[in-house]
Amino acid sequence: MLQQLFSPSVQHTVDMVGIFVFAISGALLAVRKNFDVFGIAVLAEVTALGGGLFRDIVIGAVPPAAFTDLGYFLTPLLATVVVFFLHPHVERIQRAVYVFDAAGLGLFCVSGTTKAYDYGLGLTSSATLGLATAVGGGVLRDVLANEVPSLLRWDRDLYAVPAIVGSTMVVLCIHYDALTPLTTALAAVSAFALRLLAMKYHWRAPRAWNRRSTVREE
């Protein structure tokens, strides 16, 4: 279905942009953790490709695109080189990186959902894999860096929720036979905009109701 909506060249370009931005975020975390150049490259690759690899393995799209297209492998390495030599400058434009990361989130949750549906999954499963495509790499990045995944932390701005919204919009459009380039773009933009608003206004998911804990918060 996605292949019918956008040309392969457009989809490939979108993938490369999203992969590069996600790789930048992984490489920056590696620098903050004082990793060596190999560690920076590994974290960049995992962040950029982890979600897509998980999706492709689950739906049986093997070998995954990351292993059949050299661009998928080389793009995170390019991000590694940029961060390795220019990380002070990249840190100064961290806000811009967050904006592009939000764009990648919106694009990947949509592309992940449509690809999963193309391979025969139901609507709910497709939306779930769309979410996994968008956030999976970030979860793996945090685990490898010995951090509690940002996805699970109450003190971080909403990240999964925008991806859920984008994926849900896509499956609703599929269900009502309304998936077009316009509605697909609208779903991606909605996820993107919601993530930007969450960062601007520090929207966070609620914690347990009437929470009473003596454990010191970290």
User: For residue 149, is the peptide bond before it cis, meaning its omega torsion is within 30 degrees of 0?
Assistant: no
Can you tell me the distance from the alpha carbon of 172 to that of 117, in angstroms, rounded to the nearest whole number? Answer: 12
pLDDT value of residue 171: 96
Confidence of residue 216 (pLDDT cuts 50, 70, 90): low
pLDDT value of residue 4: 57
Indicate the average pLDDT of the chain. Answer: 88
Hey, what are 62's tokens? 């093997």
Q: Does pLDDT of 125 surpass 90?
A: yes
Q: pLDDT digit string (tens) for 105-118?
A: 998 999 999 999 99
Domain extent listing, the chain: 2-201
Among 9-13, 19-23, 76-80, 100-104, the range with the most confident prediction by mean pLDDT is 76-80
| Residue from 188, 196, 206 nearest 10 by CA | 188
Cβ-defined contacts of 177-185 (< 8 Å, 24+):
179/1, 179/5, 179/114, 180/5, 181/5, 181/6, 184/2, 184/5, 184/6, 184/110, 184/114
Can you tell me the distance from the alpha carbon of 141 to that of 105, in angstroms, rounded to the nearest whole number? Answer: 15
Q: pLDDT digit string (tens) for 164-214?
A: 999 999 999 999 999 988 999 999 999 999 999 999 999 998 887 776 655
Hey, what are 125's tokens? 């499963």
Confidence of residue 86 (pLDDT cuts 50, 70, 90): confident
Residue 39 · residue 30 · CB < 8 Å: yes
Q: Does pLDDT of 131 surpass 80?
A: yes
Q: Is 181 exposed, middle or buried (0-12, 13-18, 19+ CB in 10 A)?
A: exposed
Can you tell me the distance from the alpha carbon of 49 to that of 184, in angstroms, rounded to the nearest whole number? Answer: 22
